Structure 1
């Protein structure tokens, strides 16, 4: 299978690239800068922005003999640093407008499938968040990420795409903490509302990447939303 990847230079996106290629698939990635994404066999890299429909169209045609069967989007908001208090750099509608552009171009190309990574707490999963998580999000600039992913959530439901929104629990970047990147854990799915979430919930970035690719390959959770955490 051949995939269009958005957000491939990010910490989750790079794991998605590895997962796609390790399964024997191919991908074309639209990236704003290619500095963080090394060329690899089976991966075509195109420089541009998801805010530009022509750039997305150019990406789809970058591999003339291959047409993507689906898009996997792991775009996220950029802050000045990893601190939860750091100011936002990305414009408020970057995620939503990027998603809308991708969906419009894919539909014109006859491609209907899109899998988008979101975050727990968006939409109807907010009610199931532990109250301490709500306090933390409201106290820090993570509240903006929640708001902007909420715009994506609303935007994609207006499309005719075969979409899936994967709302990840707190991401655990094992590879940046000296952990074992290849360690696999079971993924638990909690439904759209995330009922049963706890303060201890997290999901390894490599695990959520595997889940995103599986959802895209197997056509799981069509036109639905799912909260995920490590089992």
Structure 2
């Protein structure tokens, strides 16, 4: 299969690229700077912004293949990794990027999109542990949560065959001694049974995103995932 990728240069997105290529799929990635991704066989890199519909169209037209689906792993940017760092991304960055992608994809006859979201969005807020709610409310991470919430609303207005993958607290490569790609637990859209100790590795999320996209799972639904 061939995929359109938005957010491929991010920490989760790079794992998505590796997972797709290792399975023999191909992908075109729209990135802000071409140097943010290492060229690899099967990967086409296009420079542009997901806030530009014309840039997304250029990405679709870059290879000779038409994508079967899109995988979006975009996130908002802060000045540093500190949860209190100032927000750098414009308001609605995620929501407008997703809306743009869905519009361009629909026009091109592509209807499958898998979007990485976060636990706490939509109907999963009620099951989020109170410590997690406090953290999100007191830090600038709340802006990312709000934007993911807008993505949730935007994608439901489309005719796309969408899936929202709501990851619990992410464990990045530098937080784990090994790249732990394990099967994830799914907890429905509401995250039934979530606990404050739950986490999920970026490799596991990436593997799940690809599995969902390739196998057509959880169509027009959201799902909370953890290791």
Band the TM-score falls in, shorter-chain normalisation: over 0.9
Give the whole-Å Cα distance in 1 for the aligned partners of 2:226 and 2:27.
Answer: 26
Which residue of 2 is the match for residue 118 of structure 1? 117
> TM-score, with normalisation over the residues of structure 1?
0.97
What pairs with 1:23-42 in structure 2 (closer than 5 Å)? Answer: 23-42=23-42
- Structure 1 residue corresponding to 2:219, chosen from 219, 222, 225: 222
Which 5+ residue runs of structure 1 have no aligned equivalent? none
Give the whole-Å Cα distance in 2 for the aligned partners of 1:34 and 1:19.
Answer: 20
Give the whole-Å Cα distance in 2 for the aligned partners of 1:186 and 1:6.
Answer: 24
Which residue of 2 is the match for residue 136 of structure 1? 135
* Partner deviation per Cα, 1:181-203 (whole Å, 9 max, x = no partner): 1x332210000011110000000
Which residue of 1 is the match for residue 188 of structure 2? 191
> TM-score, with normalisation over the residues of structure 2?
0.98
Secondary structure (helix, strand or coil) at the match of 1:115 reads strand
* Partner deviation per Cα, 1:185-228 (whole Å, 9 max, x = no partner): 22100000111100000000000000000000000000000000
Secondary structure (helix, strand or coil) at the match of 1:63 reads coil
* Contact 1:9–1:34 (Cα < 8 Å) also in 2: no
Give the whole-Å Cα distance in 2 for the aligned partners of 1:186 and 1:58.
Answer: 35
Number of positions where the alignment pairs a residue of Structure 1 with one of Structure 2:
227
Alignment root-mean-square deviation, CA: 0.8
Which residue of 1 is the match for residue 150 of structure 2? 151
What pairs with 1:31-180 in structure 2 (closer than 5 Å)? Answer: 31-64=31-64, 66-173=65-172, 175-177=173-175, 179-180=177-178
Give the whole-Å Cα distance in 1 for the aligned partners of 2:138 and 2:176.
Answer: 29
Give the whole-Å Cα distance in 2 for the aligned partners of 1:186 and 1:103.
Answer: 28
Secondary structure (helix, strand or coil) at the match of 2:137 reads helix
* Contact 2:181–2:207 (Cα < 8 Å) also in 1: no
* Partner deviation per Cα, 1:54-80 (whole Å, 9 max, x = no partner): 11111001012x110000000000000
Which residue of 2 is the match for residue 203 of structure 1? 200
Which 5+ residue runs of structure 2 have no aligned equivalent? none
Secondary structure (helix, strand or coil) at the match of 2:132 reads helix
Deviation of 1:92 (Å): 1.2
Give the whole-Å Cα distance in 1 for the aligned partners of 2:194 and 2:89.
Answer: 29
